[in-house]
């Protein structure tokens, strides 16, 4: 029996100069840490669902990534969080969008999956649900970093909305997919979205089928990139559908979703995907994608370019 855990910390026009201020090490260590946390669960025979939640919590707590602490700021200088999680065994799913003041939105999404009769809760309602479930509410200050403020100021000057990695500071949306020892798949994605987003904008990350998908019959997928394009392509589901309905291999399905569908819309991004046999693929068409791979019995691998 084999287990696999893949994580990502976002995709974008990343180049070495852009990440030199912090050093590549900082990002690679962040990915390694998430692999370790999730890997411990898989090693003990834990579920893929627990694993992806744990890995994403670790990435949300790390301020270098655009999720949880350190999320990018909206046009109004606020933090609005999107997250989703899906279990491949029964296709149960939970998600939140526009959630504020909760440190780990992925755990609220997990609670939506487990404790509510719904799939997606938004903004104030999502916060009320989180409160009712006993999640601690933190102040806005918890999320803010100086870099995010500078990033927003720059975006406001040019009136641009941008993907985290296409700005000067390189952090990113986070995600994880896993295959556990029982052969079950799961996927999770969490993000602060796009810098300078307005009007309650919601990206692909909290949308099941767009940013996140898990189905034991095909694969588990977490996406990152220009959310609007991933919504229009239903990218995460597209990978699964190409396998389940089209008989495609995981690699061909992942490549088609990024290099055909997303590219046809002139957008950039990437995804991480694993299937039930433990095949995995991490395609992207951007300058880089922060990513890590852990396979039972092998050394973990982390890459940016």
Q: Is 173 among the residues known to form the active site?
A: yes
Q: Which of 62, 84, 205, 235 binds ligand ASP (CB under 6 A)?
A: 205
CA distance 82 to 231: 14
Rank residues 47 and 205 by Cβ distance to ligand ASP and give the closer one.
205
Question: Quick check: 221 binds ligand ASP (CB under 6 A)?
Answer: no
Q: Which of 39, 98, 193, 209 binds ligand ASP (CB under 6 A)?
A: 193
Residues from 140 through 179 that contact ligand ASP (CB under 6 A) = 163-164, 172-173
Minimum Å gap between C-beta 272 and ligand ASP is: 12
Per-position DSSP letters for 38-92, written without gaps between them: HHHHHHTT--HHHHHHHHHHHHHHSTTSSSSTTPPP-TTS---EEEEEEETTTTE
Residues from 225 through 254 that contact ligand ASP (CB under 6 A) = 225-227
Minimum Å gap between C-beta 213 and ligand ASP is: 14
What is the three-state SS of 192-211?
A: CCCECCCCCCCCCCCCECCC
Q: Which of 188, 248, 178 is nearest to 213 (CA)?
A: 188
Residue of 173, 189, 191, 195 with catalytic role: 173
Question: Quick check: 288 binds ligand ASP (CB under 6 A)?
Answer: no
The region of 19-27, 180-188, 198-206, 283-291 touching ligand ASP under the rule CB under 6 A is: 198-206
CA distance 210 to 222: 9
Rg (CA), the chain: 17
Residues from 7 through 66 that contact ligand ASP (CB under 6 A) = 10, 66
CA distance 179 to 195: 32
Question: Quick check: 224 binds ligand ASP (CB under 6 A)?
Answer: yes
Question: Quick check: 271 binds ligand ASP (CB under 6 A)?
Answer: no
CA distance 122 to 143: 19
Question: Quick check: 204 binds ligand ASP (CB under 6 A)?
Answer: yes
Rank residues 172 and 254 by Cβ distance to ligand ASP and give the closer one.
172
Rank residues 88 and 98 by Cβ distance to ligand ASP and give the closer one.
98
Report which residue's Cβ sits closest to ligand ASP.
227
Q: Which of 135, 58, 119, 117 is nearest to 86 (CA)?
A: 119
Lookup: tokens for 118: 């719904």
Question: Quick check: 203 binds ligand ASP (CB under 6 A)?
Answer: yes
Residue 138 CB partners (closer than 8 Å, separation 6+): 101, 102, 103
What are the residue numbers of the active site?
Answer: 173
Residue numbers of the site for ligand ASP (CB under 6 A)?
Answer: 10, 66, 163-164, 172-173, 191, 193-194, 203-205, 224-227
């Amino acid at each position: 029996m084999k287990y696999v855990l893949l994580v990502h910390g976002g995709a974008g026009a990343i180049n070495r100069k852009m990440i030199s201020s912090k050093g590549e090490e900082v990002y690679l260590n962040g990915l390694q840490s998430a692999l370790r946390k999730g890997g411990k669960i898989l090693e003990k025979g834990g579920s893929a669902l627990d694993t992806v939640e744990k890995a994403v919590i670790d990435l949300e707590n790390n301020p270098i990534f655009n999720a949880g602490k350190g999320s990018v700021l909206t046009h109004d200088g606020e933090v609005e969080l999107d997250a989703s999680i899906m279990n491949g065994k029964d296709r149960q799913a939970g998600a939140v969008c526009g959630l504020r003041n909760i440190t780990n939105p992925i755990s609220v999404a997990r609670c939506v999956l487990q404790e509510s009769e719904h799939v997606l809760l938004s903004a104030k309602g999502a916060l009320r649900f989180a409160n009712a479930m006993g999640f601690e509410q933190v102040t806005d200050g918890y999320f803010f970093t100086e870099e995010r403020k500078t990033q927003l100021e720059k975006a406001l000057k040019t009136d641009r909305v941008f993907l985290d990695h296409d700005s000067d500071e390189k952090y990113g949306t986070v995600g994880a997919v896993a295959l556990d020892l029982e052969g079950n798949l799961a996927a999770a994605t969490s993000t602060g979205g796009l810098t300078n987003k307005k009007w309650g904008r919601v990206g692909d990350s909290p949308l099941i089928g767009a940013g996140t998908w898990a189905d034991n019959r095909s694969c588990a997928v977490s996406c990152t990139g220009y959310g609007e394009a991933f919504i229009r392509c239903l990218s995460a589901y597209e990978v699964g559908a190409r396998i389940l309905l089209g008989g495609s291999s995981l690699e061909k399905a992942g490549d088609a979703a990024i290099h055909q569908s997303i590219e046809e819309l002139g957008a950039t991004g990437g995804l991480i995907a694993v299937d039930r046999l433990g095949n995995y693929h991490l395609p992207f068409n951007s300058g880089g994608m922060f990513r890590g791979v852990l396979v039972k019995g092998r050394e973990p691998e982390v890459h940016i370019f």
